[in-house]
Amino acid sequence: MSSSETQYQTIVVTGASGLVGSALKEVIATEPVDSSYGRRTGERWVFLRSSDGDLRDLAQTEAIFEKYKPVAVIHLAALVGGLFNNMKHNLTFMRDNILINDNVLWSAYKHDTKKVISCLSTCVFPDKVEYPLTETKIHSGPPHSSNFGYSHAKRLVDVQNRAYKDEFGCNFTSAIPTNVFGPYDNFDLEDSHVIPGLIHKCYLAKKNGTPFVVSGTGKPLRQFIYSFDLAKLFIWMLREYDSVEPLILSVGEDEELSIKEVADAIVKEVGFTGEYKFDTTKSDGQFRKPASNDKLQSLIGGYKFKPFDEALQHTVKWFIDNYDFARTGFESSAAAKGGRAQPKEPEATAPAGINAETTGGVHAAA
Ligand code: NAP
Ligand code: GFB
């Protein structure tokens, strides 16, 4: 999309109160206007959360598109969870995400949105396939059984994007990130992803003098991407990437870490010195899913990811500093103290003729 097309036009981010959306909001708030990852002059960014409209409902979704008439949408909203949440709720993960994605893409088409970038996940790939995973392998076999509901719903977005392009010429595409972590994550003890779950468990083990228990054997391998790197890559895709073909957003395939290496790094960051063990009665999930970032790096020209240890250090510090306001699964205590932790609001610098309420990237409800 050229800058002239986006001037004085609205970019909507769905799911902006989550892990990735909060990072995107913070990047837009802090990067200089008209810089590589900044807002462009006159652009209006609208950051939506579920209370702005339930995207499982077509009428509510259409009302959002009617209100903001976005030229582009970064579509992050989804029912999201770690391995154990997915295993318990495959149907709900499939159904909610199919509804959300179908409503968003249909409303975008009906309201002439010029570009939509949806978010998949490397779990969409087949479990049994030649590694590394590359963009062409999504539909080459069934996904891992632990999260088949979510994976099929997300795979379908790629099919939908191609069908919208074929029938209506739409510029809808998708990004495929690996496991994401960072500030504003969901740190629930049972339902979250491994990094936020283990940070919270280790923090409580230190505080209460109890053992730190890691689920599974610690042997599975994962690639992790810091939410602020992912946010910048979404902004780059918005500006530069106009193909229906999905794009893997990942660190290099040589940067897999075992769950034990991750747990060790968390123990070090939290400063935990007590008993530390593995509960091998719990599932390991998929053993590995190494993804290649060759396509990304060749297009962007060598993106430098924040080193894992530095990103983890920042995330652990954020969690400890914001414990009362983070998504810990104990939200009633956050609500009593004034609500959930939020990124800084982008400055509202209204270009002439544009509603200051949302200009410059403030939250829709602000
Ligand atoms: P998250 O922290 O759980 O946030 C999810 C966001 O979606 C929240 O803003 C939530 O709004 C919104 N949402 C959920 N259901 C909704 C509904 N029915 N209507 C409207 N909004 C709804 O998730 P995330 O980790 O940032 O994930 C962002 C995207 O990245 C998702 O598409 C996810 O599939 C993908 N992804 C995530 C990971 C990961 O490791 N986290 C890995 C690969 C891909 P409220 O909070 O206001 O309810
Ligand atoms: O982040 P995670 O849940 O997601 O990581 P996946 C699961 C791995 O970490 C398994 C181990 O090997 C678990 O045994 N693990 C150890 C833990 N302790 C914990 C813990 O306290 N919590 C969690 N969650 N895991 C998810 C998919 O897969 O990744 C989603 O289910 C999505 O669909 C997401 O694609 C990115 O990488 O296994």
Q: Which two tokens stand for residue 69?
A: 């008439």
pTM of the model: 0.94
The CA distance from 306 to 274, in Å, is 29
From atom 30 of ligand 2, which residue's Cα is the shortest distance away?
Answer: 82
User: What confidence tens digit (pLDDT) does each residue in 196-251 have?
Assistant: 999 999 999 999 999 999 999 999 999 999 999 999 999 999 999 999 999 999 99
Query: What mean pLDDT do residues 45-51 have?
Result: 97
What's the confidence (pLDDT) of residue 343?
Answer: 82
Average pLDDT over residues 45-60: 98
- If phi > 0 it is left, if psi is from -120 to 50 it is alpha, else beta; for residue 14 that is beta
Q: Would the pLDDT of 337 be above 80?
A: no
Query: What whole-number distance in Å separates Cα of residue 186 and Cα of residue 18?
Result: 8
Of the bound ligands, which one is closest to the alpha carbon of residue 230? Answer: 1
Report which protein residue has its CA nearest ligand 2's atom 33: 147
| C-alpha span between 283 and 53 (Å, rounded) | 35
User: pLDDT band at 347, cuts 50/70/90?
Assistant: low
pLDDT at 7: 47
Q: Verify whether residue 150 is a known catalytic residue.
A: yes
Mean pLDDT of 172-182: 98
Ligand 2 atom, smallest distance to 122 CA: 35
Question: What is the number of the ligand 2 atom nearest to the C-alpha of 150?
Answer: 33
User: What is each CA distance from 101 to 107, 116, 118, 190, 340, in whole angstroms?
Assistant: 10, 11, 8, 26, 26
* Centroid of ligand 1 to alpha carbon of 180 (angstroms): 11
Question: Which of the pair, 211 or 342, is modelled with greater confidence?
Answer: 211
pLDDT of residue 288: 97
By the 10 Å C-beta count (0-12 exposed, 13-18 middle, 19+ buried), 337 is classed as exposed
Q: Where are the alpha helices (DSSP H) in the chain?
A: 3-6, 19-30, 58-68, 83-88, 90-110, 148-168, 194-208, 227-240, 259-270, 294-300, 308-321, 331-336
pLDDT score, position 11: 98
For the packed helices 227-240 and 19-30, what is the interaxial angle rounded to 10 degrees?
70
Rounded Cα distance between 202 and 195, Å, is 10
Q: Where does 10-325 sit in CATH, by number?
A: 3.40.50.720
In whole angstroms, give the CA distance from residue 305 to residue 252.
9
Q: Assess whether pLDDT exceeds 70 at residue 322.
A: yes
Instruction: Report the candidate in 346, 358, 244 with the shortest Cα–Cα distance to residue 23.
Output: 346
Between strands 247-249 and 212-215, the pairing is: unpaired
What is the residue-averaged pLDDT of the chain? 92
Which residues, at least 6 apart from 217, have a Cβ–Cβ distance to it below 8 Å?
Answer: 259, 278, 280, 284
Q: How far apart are CA 93 and CA 141, in angstroms?
A: 20
Residue 20 CA: which ligand 1 atom is closest? 26
Query: In the chain, what are the domain boundaries?
Result: 10-325
Q: Which among 193, 49, 22, 187 is positioned nearest to 122, based on CA atoms? A: 193
pLDDT tier at 3, thresholds 50, 70, 90: very low
Verify cis geometry, omega within 30 degrees of 0, for the bond prior to 132.
Answer: yes
Binding pocket residue ranges, ligand 2, CB within 6 Å: 82-84, 86, 121, 123, 146-147, 150, 179, 192-194, 197-198, 201, 214-216, 220, 222, 259, 282-286
pLDDT greater than 70 at residue 360: no
Choose the catalytic residue: 150, 164, 203, 226: 150
Q: CB of 291 closer than 6 A to ligand 1?
A: no
Is pLDDT at 332 greater than 80 in this prediction? no
- Element spanning 350, H or E: none
Assess whether the C-beta atom of 201 lies below 6 angstroms from ligand 1: no
25 Cβ closer than 6 Å to some ligand 1 atom: no
Q: Is 132 in the pocket of ligand 1 (CB under 6 A)?
A: no
| Ligand 1 atom at minimal distance to the Cα of residue 99 | 18
Q: Is the pLDDT of residue 56 over 50?
A: yes
CA 202 distance to own-chain centroid: 23
**β-strand pairing of 257-258 with 221-222:** antiparallel
Query: DSSP letters along 264-295, please?
Result: HHHHHHHT--S-EEEETTS---SS---B--HH
